[in-house]
Every structure is written in structure tokens, then in C-alpha cells.
Amino acid sequence: MGVIPGWLLRHQVVIEAYLGDSAYGPTYGAPVTVRAFVSEKVRTVRDQRGEEVVASTTVYLLPTQDCPPESRVTTPSGRTASVITSDLHDGGGLPTPDHREVTLT
């Protein structure tokens, strides 16, 4: 199968990649609009520190899309949220839909 099929990416999101902290707070990259599939469903996930947190939205992206934790993502509904986790799902050549799964606060 390879990469997640384009016809599944029915939405668009705006990603502002987290670049790090400065003396004035977090810094972000320029906004980038990308195709995605957005699922607004509340669930419990573990953050980078292993703590359980509540995620309100899951976004599925192409596997090549960079979206590090703490980035800002604006969903089609206009809500802007922070990235909790950004996981690459790569089947290593198996017939699976490779993609990036991003959970948002």
C-alpha cells in the first residue's frame, strides 16, 4: 500500500512547528497549510514525559510531514491546539498505510 492515500486526507490544517524556547517564550516556524484527516474524539494519551493527558483531536498526515510536539495546529473548525504526541507509523515495506499520527490538546 505504501503512503496513506491522498483521498483519505479530506481536511486541511495549519501547522506552526515548535522551534524551541527563547527569552520571550516558545518560538514557532512559519505557518504551513497541509492536507490531513482530522478526527475530533476525546481520548487519553501519554505525553513526552509519560504522563497521561487528555487529547481532544487526532490528525493524520503524510509520513514526511514534520510536526514536533508542542507545535501549534489549527484545525478546520478554527481551533488552535498544541501537539501532545507526533508518531510516525511506517510499515517498513509491508502493505500498510504509512502516516504520521498527531494528537492535540
Looking at every residue in the chain, the average pLDDT score rounds to 94
Residue 58: what pLDDT?
A: 96
pTM of this structure: 0.91
Q: How far is 57 from 78, CA to CA, in rounded Å?
A: 13
Tell me the percentage of the chain whose pLDDT exceeds 90.
85
pLDDT one-digit tens code per residue, 45-89? 998 888 999 999 999 999 999 999 999 999 999 999 999 999 999
Contacts of 64 (CB under 8 A, 6+ apart): none
